[in-house]
Amino acid sequence: MKVYFLKRFLELIPVFFAISIIIFVIMNSMPGDPLLQMRMQNPRAMANDPQRMKELREYYRLDDPLPVKYFSWLKSVMIGDLGYSSMYKTPVIDLIFSRLPNTLILTITAWLIGLVVALPIGILSAVKKYSVFDYSTTVFAFVGISLPGFWFALIAIIIFSVGLGWFPVSGMSTYGVTGTWNVFVDRLRHLVLPAFVLGLVQVASWVRYIRTSLLEVLDQDYVRTAYAKGVPDRKVIIKHALKNAMIPIITIIALDIPYFFGGALIIETVFSWPGMGRLMYNAVISSDYNLAISCLMFLAIVTLISNLVADLLYVLVDPRIRMGRKGA
Amino acid sequence: MRKFFYKRKLDEIEEKARPIHINSYRQLVWAKFKSHKLAVLGAVMLVAVVIFTLIGPLFIDVGYEDMDFSNLFSPPFTEGHLFGTDELGHDVLVRVMYGGRISLFVGFASAVITTLIGTAVGLFSGFYGGLVDRFLMRFVDVMLSIPMFPILITLTLVFGSGISNIILVLTVFGWMGVSRLVRGLVLSIRETEYVMSAKAMGVRNVRIILRHVLPNVVPIVIVSATLNMSYAILAESSLSYLGLGIQPPMPSWGNMLQRAMNYILGTTTGVNPWWLTVFPGFFIFITVLNVNFLGDGLRDALDPKFVSES
Amino acid sequence: MERILEVDNLKISFKTQLGRITPLDGVSFSLSKGETLGIVGESGCGKTITAFSIMRLLPKNSFLGEDTRIAFRGKDISTLGKEELQRIRGKSISMVFQEPMTSLNPLYTIGWQISEVYRLHEGLSEEEAMTRSVEMLRLVGIPEPKKRVTEFPHQLSGGMRQRVMIAMALACSPEVLIADEPTTALDVTIQAQVLELMNELKDKFSTATIIITHDLGVIAEMCDRVLVMYAGQIVESGGIFDIFDSPMHPYTKGLINSIPKIEISKKEQRKLNVISGYVPHPSSFPEGCRFRPRCSVAFDRCLEKPPLIDFENGHSVRCWLFERNDR
């Protein structure tokens, strides 16, 4: 099994490089000259002095051919030097680390909400196929995947924040709240809407997937064998069918983790949540090169890690993979 | 007839269920599609939306840029403005219609282009195989698991905004999903006996692809195209909402929502113009919903092995 | 001989999104203690549905005929509640399925899967059940049973998996064993081994057995009586020698004739005998005698539905050719 892991891990390395190249190329195709940016932000220091310009260009290697730029960037990333953010004037690493926990709170909560809601509903609708419950679940699932996330967020704000006043409109916390309990409740109130919006949209696609996976398993011969042995219905579903269905389900749930980060981007924007998503968005539209490219690379790494995690889970659950396809 | 698992009597089945007379694949597909209520609903509603956006403006006197200064922030059902007006007195109804044209066009065009490219790549990769195929697919696999949205945002800045640029943005990576699907199917078709015998008889590869592989790939491709379209519409409206997609004054459902967001807490006059948020978003939702219904129905209808219990 | 299973007028319909299909139309037979009954027919004739319906293993959109009765030891099990049915399945009536490759749960050891039957029906502890499972594995001829018991299905070959299925089915010494094409998916040599095993075991446990197959060779090896099915009906039934020596129904004759014979003289060597045409789909069964379109000796009476005509020696046939005028 360890060999399997090593193999998968090694396979991801070239992919990592390929992705980094793509991200690098895209980022470098963006219009805008970093030096121009710096000049706009600090006109006095960057007075129209051609000699100084030339020196700066050389210092920052702005005119080097693309591959050279790529490798020097890669080198600094490897040692952890992500550069300075031109927008915030702080090292990119600090920015990322300060915003990351916020996004994690949001993402993990939404993920948990999604799981807790989708699993039982998906399982029940498969077991009660074609019942009223199943049909309504299907419709609900369709609604969920058709809803524009940001629109759902806006409507939620209109109804629950503006209309009913139950939750705050934006941000992560209210200024000036003191006391551990009060702070905790305040944070919770701020978390509810964004987490639910982010989570519920995912529930819709998960419910359908869980239902389909379970249905496929229920159609298998070995489930029929279990019935033929006289195993009671509930046991067949839980012990025989579900365990098998969990394999694809777990993989999808793990593989969807990057989507939570991506979805978080727009939700964070709507709710002004101070997370990495909003950071990424601001970086990209302000042409903050260092910050933007680092955020994208971060996203890529999250993706690769979750792929690996999905593989790990798959191996743990399925003995056929665990043992390799050996003969008797 | 007694029901096997439950104790109810079901004599109505005798009258309601008609015997089956299916003679051709086409009949089977049509019959299955017709019995899928949501799909039929989706198809009908979609046609309705298209008509609404294309023909609708002919029935409205106002243009999408006309400003009615006597009616700023008017709620729905105000005289002459069924869906209300925005902060500049634009009629929301007509803007929703024009916005619909744009959003539908972008969605449709992206779907068609990505499907064409993806199918071609998938066919080639699956059929010819080899190192190119393996590398391509591994690459596609991981690219697909990276959340597309941040990448799309970056791409809009590279290519710029505007209709054709947005379509470009959506298609650059959009073909990957289809290609993986098609390639998988091609792989299994390639190993079937009739393809192998065609090869053994010396039929040229291109002919094999066109006559044997392609017709079997078409159902999956159609379904994939509909899913692509719903994704494209959602993506375009998200991008426009963020100010990156279609730019004003050209209306798109997404950028209408962007303007609406400024007033979500209410205007300076204390009015909350919820209709600015509700209507455009609702139309996005309804359109995508119906495309999804349609796609689901098509998938069930075109799958030759699938006849569901009712 | 005591009749352990009596199937009376078995009629099964399915409700699908395209309409109602009735693949089984009034099948009746009985099974006596210790007897081996064969049900033979081409694919699509309804023999598998017949087998599944006894233990109610059909999907939720299936319906039973109003007058159908399935009596096990005299009691109608077609109306039994879920719990009582579950007590019978695997304990008094068991089944062996066609596809050994997919009939075992890939995530559990074969020991666990066999002992499940013991834990369920005989209330044994895990240890006791495992010991019994090892015994059963030995009985079905699997070498090193103690080691095998901890293995997963994918580690066994097809033939061995089928033996495991048989072990599972016979674990609680059921009174009836239903085997649906038990050897069809296996290699010929393995087939012979498995059939031999089944013969041995059914004698040992004196289990009444129903064998479903399309292979007349298997019928000849294993069965005391035979039912020939076509298009959802029984077209002929009788003792094994009667059926093979003096088949009555044109379909039965066609089946027997189509067995390729190796030892024929050059003079007799001609084309392979086939029954022309195709098995009709349940959605479009022909009017009258369902075999009429493919029958070489059909005549105008055949446009009417023929009843099952019984003869004294237990031989029955559904064909107008044998209409007796003394009724």
How do residues B91-128 score in pLDDT, each as one tens digit? 888 888 888 999 999 999 999 999 999 998 888 888 78
A143: left (phi over 0), alpha (psi -120 to 50) or beta: alpha
Q: What is the mean pLDDT of chain B?
A: 80
Decide if A234 touches C, using CB distance below 8 A: no
The pLDDT score that the predictor gives to residue A163 is: 79
Q: pLDDT by residue (tens digit) across B131-174?
A: 888 888 878 887 787 788 888 888 888 888 788 888 998 998 88
Which is nearest to B83 in space by CA: B283, B299, B246? B283
Residue of A nearest to B233 (CA): A148
Q: pLDDT by residue (tens digit) across A124-179?
A: 999 988 889 998 998 899 999 999 988 999 889 888 888 788 888 888 877 777 78
Please, which residues 276-315 of chain A have a Cβ atom closer than 8 Å to chain B?
280-281, 284-285, 287, 292, 295-296, 299-300, 303-304, 306-307
Average pLDDT over residues B181-201: 81
C229: left (phi over 0), alpha (psi -120 to 50) or beta: beta
**Residue contact B288–A292, C-beta within 8 A:** no
The pLDDT confidence band at residue B14, using thresholds 50, 70 and 90, is very low
- Chain C: nearest CA to B13, how far in angstroms? 8
The answer to whether the CB of B140 falls within 8 A of the CB of A251 is no
**Residue contact C152–A243, C-beta within 8 A:** no
- Chain B: nearest CA to C302, how far in angstroms? 23
Chains that touch A (3 or more CB pairs under 8 A): B, C
The pLDDT confidence band at residue A225, using thresholds 50, 70 and 90, is very high
Q: Give chain B positions within 8 Å (CB) of C60.
A: 4-5, 309
Has residue A20 got a pLDDT over 90?
no
Decide if A224 touches C, using CB distance below 8 A: yes
Q: Give chain A positions within 8 Å (CB) of B139.
A: 15, 18
Q: Give chain B positions within 8 Å (CB) of A31.
A: 157-158
Q: Which of C17, C63, C284 sits opposite B4 (nearest CB)?
A: C63
Average pLDDT over residues B264-268: 74
The pLDDT score that the predictor gives to residue A71 is: 83
Q: DSSP per residue over chain B, as a string?
A: -EESSS--B-THHHHHPPPP---SHHHHHHHHHHH-HHHHHHHHHHHHHHHHHHHGGGG-SS-TT---TT-TTPPTTBTTBTT-B-TT--BHHHHHHHHHHHHHHHHHHHHHHHHHHHHHHHHHHHHH-HHHHHHHHHHHHHHHHS-HHHHHHHHHHHH-SSHHHHHHHHHHHHHHHHHHHHHHHHHHHHTSHHHHHHHHTT--HHHHIIIIIHHHHHHHHHHHHHHHHHHHHHHHHHHHHTTSSSPTTS--HHHHHHHHHTTTT--TTS---HHHHHHHHHHHHHHHHHHHHHHHHHHHHH-TT---B-
Q: pLDDT by residue (tens digit) across C157-176?
A: 989 999 999 999 999 999 99
Q: What is the mean pLDDT of chain C?
A: 88
Q: Measuring CA to CA, how many Å separate C98 from each of B32, B205, B249, C229?
A: 30, 38, 68, 18
**Residue contact A319–C107, C-beta within 8 A:** yes
**Residue contact B1–C63, C-beta within 8 A:** yes
Question: Omega before A65 cis (within 30°)?
Answer: no
Q: pLDDT by residue (tens digit) across A142-157?
A: 999 999 988 999 889 8
Please, which residues 68-107 of chain B have a Cβ atom closer than 8 Å to chain A?
none
Decide if C267 touches A, using CB distance below 8 A: no
In the block, which residue shows the tokens 């080097």?
A: A64
Compute the distance between CA of residue C27 and CA of residue C50 in angstroms, rounded to an integer.
8
Q: Give chain C positions within 8 Å (CB) of A240.
A: 105
The whole-model pTM stands at 0.83
Extended beta strands in chain A, E state: none
- Chain B: nearest CA to C85, how far in angstroms? 11
ipTM attached to this prediction: 0.89
Q: Give chain A positions within 8 Å (CB) of B161.
A: none
